[in-house]
Amino acid sequence: MKAIALNISAWMLLPFMDGLAKFLSQDIHFLQVVWGRYFFMAFFSIIITFIFFNRHFNFPKGIQIQIFRSLFLFLSTVFFFYAISVISLPEALTLAFISPIIATILSAIILKEKVGPRRWIAVIMGFVGVLFVIRPGFNEINLATVAAVGAGACYAFYIISTRKLSSIDSPLMTLIFTGLSGAIVISLIVPFFWTWLSLSQWLLLISLAAIGTLAHFLLILSLNYAEASKLAPLAYSEIIMNVVIGYYFFGDFPNQWIWIGLSIIIASGVYISLRENKKNR
């Protein structure tokens, strides 16, 4: 029960980070928002780990996997923050929810896991759900839509990398490495897009990173009480707060096609998770 409470709390917090990112992107370049998310994430992660978990301060053992994992999460963040700066929060998140479906394909190719015919059917249905949201031929497919799908694809690689790291490095060390590597990369890029920030924008950037760091910290804590595969379906609870924030602050409410696509994607993702749990047992 504790694992469920911690996990759902994390997924309820993350849409607030996305909402702040969308709000800030209306006035500043989205790459500045990405920079704030990573720079202050690294800062808060180091502080939390140093104060409460200083035994986890050691050089990561799986350095190559850490680099790939951090790169995929960084790209996922860049793509998603760009997407929500253009399209609605629910639409972007729905398209990004393709990640567990792609992760299933990658697990068969990269991790050589056995994927049965029923899970392959769920994967195909997940892509059908994406088509309901995009509706090629009826809607103009813009760069933001592609970026949202790209965010989900990169997050799938991040999931696979995380599976590889689970038995190698401490989750907190992984969180620090992810924040630091992302902060270094984006700090080299963002000066070309930098504009002067007001005090309120600085405070919002710090708040955005603090919420994101706290959410990831809660996710890590939840994994101490339950396996990741058992908690995976709870990630879809994020859409509840995402829709609320999108509608209340930005006037965005999912149309019928997004609801249909979302339902199909969630159903296929939950089914895949349940099949993985059964396989693990």
Q: What is the pLDDT of residues 6-60, one digit of tens each?
A: 888 888 999 999 999 999 999 999 999 999 999 998 888 888 777 766 666 666 6
Write the burial class of residue 212 (CB in 10 Å: 0-12 exposed, 13-18 middle, 19+ buried): buried
In terms of Cα–Cα distance, which of 3, 35, 56, 38 is closest to 192? Answer: 35
Phi, psi torsion values for 126, nearest 5 degrees? -60, -40
- DSSP H helices, 113-236, are 117-134, 143-165, 171-189, 199-222, 228-231
Amino acid identity, position 245: I
- pTM of the entire structure? 0.84
pLDDT at 277: 61
pLDDT at 137: 46
Which DSSP letter does residue 214 get?
Answer: H
